[in-house]
Amino acid sequence: MKFLGLILACWLITGCASIPGIEYLTGQPDSQQAEDDSESNIVDITTDAQPVLSSDEIARKDSGPDAFGSIEKPNIIGATPGAFKSLPLTRHIGHYVRNMAQDLVANMEYVTERTPVAVTHFSLIDSDLRETNLLGQQMAESFVHEFHKFRMPVVEFKATQFIRVTESGDYILSRDFLDLNNSTPIQYVLTGTMTKHQGGFIVNARMLGMESKVVVASAQSFVPFYVVDALIPSESSRQNEVIDGVRIIRGE
């Protein structure tokens, strides 16, 4: 009985070895057969195929900050180009201002550590140059910080001669021109414009002479939308919106 089983096993092994190849049976080369199998979602276990990754594994593999500092690639929402979801960032607007400040200092003329400099808000280029947004305001604040690190004497022209004590807080800064000194010594001023672009804002910065109006330094940068969207307006600014030139004050 054992002898018959041994003969049967040898016969099966000999028969499997004599089976024709895939090319003989199908009339197609092995490469063509592999392509047909891939189209039919047939997995060939005889080849050294790459392991199939799950969606979570692919997300972890592709994770990491991109060139703009986003932890993951932005997802388009809607059909409008340039509309992105707000994403957690490893960089903020200060990183872009830092690079622009270095460009300004690299090609700057006449401005020294003894020439007072002022920084204004950046204007929207397609307006009457008297309109800005939260991006233009924060960029001005960041430039003040960067210029001070370069030991440039930055003048805070919004500072008053007194401290205003109120129920909501104590303040020395004001946007009321009646509270400000009109004889502040300023020789150069940093200003700029912003252009809304597909995917972000093009920012143009320039240093001007207050008397000559000559450009003594310039820089340009691109800020992506999801970095701009990370700037969140305060509740007070939302309550005092300007619609059609009229300031709308929303009550509680």
Mean pLDDT of 79-105: 75
Mean pLDDT of 115-129: 95
Q: Above 60 in pLDDT, residue 219? A: yes
Asked if residue 193 lies in contact with residue 125, where contact means CB atoms within 8 angstroms, the answer is yes
CA-to-CA dists, residue 126 to 152, 195, 227, angstroms:
31, 7, 21
What is the fold of 93-157+184-230?
A: Rossmann fold (3.40.50)
Express as a percent the part of the chain with pLDDT over 90: 46
Provide the 10 A C-beta neighbour count for residue 136. Answer: 19
Asked if residue 210 lies in contact with residue 76, where contact means CB atoms within 8 angstroms, the answer is no
Mean pLDDT of 235-243: 61
Which tens digit of pLDDT belongs to each residue from 29-60?
A: 555 555 555 555 554 545 444 555 555 555 55
In angstroms, the CA 82 to CA 97 distance is 22
8-31 residues labelled b (16+ CB within 10 A) or e (exposed): eeeeeeeeeeeeeeeeeeeeeeee
Per-residue tokens: 146? 């960067």
For 195, what's the count of Cα atoms within 13 Å in the CB-facing half-sphere?
A: 9
Identify the top-confidence range among 33-37, 72-76, 121-125: 121-125
Helix (H, G, I), strand (E, B) or coil at 219: strand
CA-to-CA dists, residue 175 to 45, 192, 210, angstroms:
73, 19, 20
Helix (H, G, I), strand (E, B) or coil at 154: strand
Which tens digit of pLDDT belongs to each residue from 158-186?
A: 999 999 999 999 999 999 988 888 888 89
Mean pLDDT of 77-89: 48
Residue 222: left if φ>0, alpha if ψ -120 to 50, beta else—which one?
beta
25 versus 10: the higher-pLDDT residue is 10
- pTM of whole model > 0.85? no
pLDDT of residue 24: 47
pLDDT of residue 88: 62
Mean pLDDT across the chain, nearest whole number?
76
